[in-house]
Chain A
Amino acid sequence: MKSIMRVNDLDLYYGSNHALKNISMDIESNKVTALIGPSGCGKSTFLRTLNRMNDLIGSVQITGTVLFEGQDIYKELDVIEFRKKIGMVFQRPNPFPMSIYENVAYGSRIHGVKNKRELDEIVEKSLVGAALFDEVKDRLKKSGISLSGGQQQRLCIARTLAVEPEIILMDEPTSALDPISTLKVEDLISKLKEKYTVVIVTHNMQQAGRISDSTAFFLNGEIIEKGSTEGIFYKPKDKRTEDYITGRFG
């Protein structure tokens, strides 16, 4: 198993609040890794340390290391360059207030692609990759906000694919979607792992069970248990994991 990201002894403080405690985990390439746990357990915070989104918050302090392909993302890598390789899909679908085409082309444009034909190709390929192309191919000039919630979320995934990341981080990507849209996004995630590594935060344990290869269970800022999804779901080693999985709390 090849791990693309390696987190060692990560601690994170919001001011004086110790939000992540001594987190160590490997993220294997071309797998779907699910982060589960009750609200406020630190799983989203952890996800955001992986692409340095927490940098936006002034009072955050981080110790420990996060290695991406062997290099420390906080010390050795340029944050702009590095974020290109780590895509992110957010909880609320957040297409930019511009056309479908421009939404997908945005990333390539800021990275200097100007050629119209090249952009067309990237847009089409990304929309196909996000299983959205057939639904929108006749209205690429329409506003991205005019799409349904599920389509918006797949548009956001297409926008992420357009910059050809290696890892895609997803922060509860289906929590704002209806069941049918959720299913479409889940199918898509299972396909994405052929080319990409996916780390997904989810509230929904069935979802974690359906789509992930390995799972980490967070509680109060700590990883209680991690391992293959099957192992976590069928033979949890820790009592608290078992309680959470079987729905006794959370």
Chain B
Amino acid sequence: MRKRKELPEKIYATTCGYLIIILTLSIVFFIAYKGVAIFNQNGVSISEFLSSSKWAPENAIENGGPKVGALIFYTGSIMVSLFAVILSTPLSVSVAIFMTEISPTLGNKVLRPAIELFVGIPSVVYGWIGLSLLVPFIRANLGGLGFSILSGGIVLTIMIMPTIVSIAVDSLKNQPIDYKEASLSLGATRWQTIRKILLPSAMPGILTGVVLGLARAFGEALAVQMVIGNRVSLPKSILDPAITLTSIITMDMGNTVQGSVWNNALWSMAFVLLLIFFGFILIIREISHYANRGE
């Protein structure tokens, strides 16, 4: 009797579980199907797509036909994301150390809510603040248009900070107090203990946070698009405007016709983004695998 009563719940939960799997696979297959169209339908070679910096998808046949090199876009994405991670990591790890080791009270009462608030701010607000404060500031003080890799990178630095901070905090908190006590009992200072014992043993967790931050930076479209300038050319310095994979997709997707070379090229970029994210997931798995092996 009892078993029969549980049956509807079981069916519901199982259906939801399978639905998620089907949904995920469908999305992946759909993007992959659309993403390879440009190669097998429009005859663009993979090497041209990946290595050419010529972007003229609307070019008429008499002018040499459409050119769909994506180099500029993923260079822009990589530069702006790496810039953000390089700037954000030391900042975030320091904040995490402050919150866990130096002032846990202030950390729990002020910083943690503040960090949670950061996560809740919509990206359009970050973009808008960047647009109205950062872009003019850079234009006035460092030169150039203000719309630049630098602006995009700084906006992303702040946007990915909560991710890295909260994962680094969790990782630092999870370290057994035994290590800390042993180190202090040998006459180590608090800073020596943090640098030589706590940080190395928390490193896998911190790296996971950094990769997740990198993924977030890579995937962010709106805020970056608002401040990076969206110029389709390879930037020569961080003060030059640039464009990213995500921003070209959001800007152009409404202007293109389904099935055209232009539209297919955008799908291929979406596919590249998807593959990059798979790469990030693999890296995170590898890190946690490595960390578990060490124990």
Contacts and interface: CB of A to CB of B under 8 A. Distances in A.
B182 interface: yes
Give the interface size bracket for B toward A: 20 to 34
B182 to A, nearest CB: 5
A107 B189 CA distance: 11
Given A97-B294, A145-B295, A106 B178 contact: no
Given A97-B201, A106-B196, A145-B295, A92 B186 contact: no
Contact of A80 (B178, B187, B200, B295): B187
Contact of A56 (B184, B187, B192): B184
Contacts, number: 69
A84 B181 contact: no
A217 to B, nearest CB: 25
Given A94-B176, A96-B179, A97-B201, A106 B186 contact: yes
A81 B187 contact: yes
Contacts of B196: 106, 110
B18 to A, nearest CB: 41
A90 B181 contact: yes
Interface of B (DSSP majority class): helix
A81 B189 CA distance: 10
Contacts of A111: 187
Nearest to B184: A83
Interface string B175-198: 011111111111111001000110
A92 B178 CA distance: 8
Contacts of A143: 294
A212 to B, nearest CB: 21
Interface string B222-233: 000000000000
20 contacts: A51-B185, A53-B181, A56-B177, A56-B184, A83-B186, A84-B187, A87-B186, A90-B182, A94-B181, A94-B182, A96-B179, A97-B179, A97-B201, A106-B186, A110-B189, A110-B192, A110-B196, A156-B182, A159-B186, A163-B186
Top 6 nearest A-B pairs (CB, nearest first) are: A84-B187, A94-B178, A88-B185, A107-B186, A83-B187, A110-B188
